Amino acid sequence: MDTRTVQPVMTTERDLRLDLFRGIALWLIFLDHIPSNIVAWLTIRNYGFSDATEIFIFISGYTAAFVYGRAMRERGFVIAGARVYKRAWQIYIAHVFLFTIYLAQIAYVARGFQNPLYAEEMGILDFLQQPDVTIVEALLLKFKPANMDVLPLYIVLLLLFPPLLWLLLRWPTTALAASAIIYAAAWEFGWNFPAYPSGYWFFNPFAWQLLFVFGAWCALGGAERLGGLLRSRITLSLAVAYLLFGFFVTMTWYFPRLEYLFMPKWLSDQMYPISKTNLDVLRFAHFLALAAVTVYFVPRTWSGLTSPLLRPAILCGQHSLEIFCIGVFLSFAAHFAKVEFAGGTVMQIVVSVVGIALMIAAAWLIAWYKRVEGRKATARPQAARADLAGGET
């Protein structure tokens, strides 16, 4: 029931599942960013309609609502909004830093090894030809090299978040319905942001905001309202059936002969194309099915969350902004190693394993540094709240 007097249910307990699955998502994104990588066959994008991006955006929305929702309730719209915009600015600076180093990395390798294909593959030819114009367009978030589309999307979502959060805290269902209307309008009218030098944003903010808002809605009591539905065996059965459907459909992409068995023409005409740019309904539904199965089998109190085996993924999830940036650098370094030294199966496995190991090492080092600097939950209440949500990115 949506009324002003009904306050969203907000837990204060740490949910390690957020950290765990965001950390795993960061690993999967890294593996998917390495071209022609056999290890990427382990990622979920090969077995269904959605991929790690959906996981990352959903958890980001959940986290943002958890952290800033409490601030808005306790300190008001202005203070909470200022904190959101401060975080958006921090991510913008990280994006600019990542852009600068990433372009330098690609340009240095392309020139040093006399291989201009690197610049073409990574989408920086316009920068090499018109660096002055391209830098301005990059600062406006319109020019984005390959693998650098996620942070601009998150920056835009945060910039629009304060009024949305205000609405979510008062009329959550109305806010979610408004988000769905914007999503439908984006499909109907072709809304998207322009990109440079041509085209539109790869992740359409008008479409992907639905997943972000849904995550925020779940954080502010939506998950509790769906609790009975998520614990239902009927829901589990439907989710598993849809995941199997997605699996068989994706298999037809790799084994065309299976198309005659699983994809009649009338069905393929209705389904294709499955747009990632506009967050196709099939992708959104696939993520919901994955989430339903995960929540059913991995409850908040699952003892495995404290296992040392899962600690590396949890650490990466707790420092997602830094680890994402590192993953972008490492994915190109892995691609470079495959092209210049050896591109066989062994090298693909080596660069994948080494890359994830370096991401884990970086996350451990960041956590260690924060402990040394005294940034513990007991000393910094606001930081503790961010940690409770699994980090602020």
Give pLDDT tens digits for 45-60. Answer: 999 999 999 999 999 9
Residue 200 φ/ψ, nearest 5 degrees: -135, 170
pLDDT at 389 over 50: no
pLDDT confidence tier of residue 127, bands split at 50, 70 and 90: confident
> Once rounded to an integer, what is the mean pLDDT over residues 4-16?
58
pLDDT at 384 over 60: no
* Least trusted range by pLDDT, from 159-168, 231-240, 263-272: 263-272
- What's the CA gap between 246 and 388, in Å, rounded? 33
pLDDT, one tens digit per residue, over 145-167 is 989 999 999 999 999 999 999 99
pLDDT, one tens digit per residue, over 317-345 is 999 999 999 999 999 999 999 988 887 89
- What's the CA gap between 295 and 227, in Å, rounded? 10
Specify whether the CB–CB gap between 160 and 209 falls below 8 A: yes
pTM score, whole prediction: 0.90
pLDDT, one tens digit per residue, over 70-110 is 999 999 999 999 999 999 999 999 999 999 999 888 888 88
> What are 161's two structure tokens?
């978040």
Q: Tell me the torsion sign for CA atoms 190, 165, 318, 372.
A: positive
215 contact partners, CB below 8 Å, separation of at least 6: 57, 58, 59, 60, 61, 62, 63, 64, 65
pLDDT at 3 over 50: no
